[in-house]
Amino acid sequence: MPTRCIIGLSSGSSAEGVDAVLLEAEGAGLELRVRLVLALHQPYPADLREMIRRMSSPGKLDGKETALLHRLLGETFAAAARQAADRASMSLRNVQCLGCPGHIVWHEPGGRFPSTFAVGMAAVVAERTGVTTVGDFRSRDVAVGGHGVPLSALADHLLFRHAQENRVLIHLGSAARIVYLPASGRPVDVLGFEAGPCNLFLDSVMRHLTGGREEYDAGGKNGVQGRCLEPLLQRWLAHPYLQRRPPKSLSRQTFGDEFLAQTAPTAQQLQASLHDLVCTATHFVARGITVALRRFLPERRPLQRVLLSGGGIRNGFLWHLLEQQLTGIPLDKTDQHGVPSDARKAIESAILAAFTVDGVPANLPAVTGAAGSRLLGSLTPGSSANWARCLAWMAAQTAPLAVEQE
């Protein structure tokens, strides 16, 4: 089977910018093997970053601004894809497909009509690059009763599974997302869920306490100077979400402004400083993760290694707390296992796109809670020549390697 090139894009919850990767892939479906050719980060301009943050906050929906952001992000994603190909000295005509999940501005997994919404116009990406674009991966899983996350679980199985080690991947992003990979496990053995809040919560605490002067706790420098307020920590740890069994995922509002406002009376009683509250919030994130690992992962297969990715790995205080609470278990960045932590989500977007054109259902129902496995994503054809090649490839996958579910 010939080698093919695939581009993956990702836009994190911090709205800092878009990550792009170019992969070389051999094989197809569950036999896929990928090699990272190039990874880059393209920061968002300040005005675009502010638009994304406004759109991600609860409030009155502005249809005009939503449509404009949808278009602008499409142009930005396309520029990042072109830049990745240029830096690799590769023509986009040699790229088979492109994974572009967009930027999630709303995710509400509960209620009568669970919903998820991403912006970033796939038609613009396909038009500017000429490459067939696969995006909107979450929606199909949500439509069949799933949480839409973590959709990375099958890709993580291909990238990080180990014959002898029981491993867990923790992505320290907007939420703390966990994927468990037992030694020599099959896709059906993989577990995954969102354990609790992470950067979105910590950043909200910083903005709330500093009046917007500081957007995040750089390196954990504020948290490490404070004291953990145990009464407040215990109150937070009693939150119903942390007690709920997987599959589960967080809505953006669960630990949002209303949750923080409820903290104010207790904080005043404890005479808490800014450093104390950030310290307690960081302890809360770490405890939420470690309690979930102990409560929801199989006791008969103890953890032997933890792999970390996401913006939270730059918070030295959070890393230290995780080390303390996971005594005896090595903590590594995914970089040490061949996947740059900053590029992990973009790599997984590329793999999800490959799964789609290979005809492989990529959601794991045991992970997302969906009623069944499904092909994910919406395809937007690239140039006529690129689309013809994609159609020929898809037609050749006459017996797709379906994911084992039983």
Could you tell me the pLDDT band of residue 406, with boundaries at 50, 70 and 90?
A: very low
Task: Quote the pLDDT of residue 403.
Answer: 54
Q: Peptide bond preceding 182: is omega within 30 degrees of 0, i.e. cis?
A: no
Tokens of 406: 């039983």
What pairs with residue 176 in β-bridges?
Answer: 172, 196
Q: Give mean pLDDT, residues 243-251.
A: 95
207 or 220: which leads in pLDDT: 220
pLDDT tens digits for 228-237? 999 999 999 9
Domain 154-341 in the same topology as domain 4-152+345-396? yes
pTM above 0.85, yes or no: yes
Q: Check pLDDT > 50 for residue 338.
A: yes
Task: Quote the pLDDT of residue 208.
Answer: 86
Task: Quote the pLDDT of residue 256.
Answer: 86
Q: Give mean pLDDT, residues 306-324.
A: 97
| CATH (residue range 154-341) | 3.30.420.40
Task: Quote the pLDDT of residue 42.
Answer: 97
Task: Quote the pLDDT of residue 53.
Answer: 84
Q: Give mean pLDDT, residues 206-226.
A: 92
| CATH (residue range 4-152+345-396) | 3.30.420.40
pLDDT tens digits for 142-183? 999 999 999 999 999 999 999 999 999 999 999 999 999 999
What pairs with residue 132 in β-bridges?
Answer: 97
Task: Quote the pLDDT of residue 266.
Answer: 85
Q: Give mean pLDDT, residues 179-198.
A: 97
The domain segmentation of the chain, as residue ranges, is: 4-152+345-396, 154-341
Q: What is the mean pLDDT of the chain?
A: 93
pLDDT tens digits for 45-55? 999 998 998 88
Q: Check pLDDT > 90 for residue 260.
A: no
* pLDDT above 90 coverage of the chain, percent: 83
Q: Give mean pLDDT, residues 271-285.
A: 95
Task: Quote the pLDDT of residue 1.
Answer: 64
Could you tell me the pLDDT band of residue 313, with boundaries at 50, 70 and 90?
A: very high
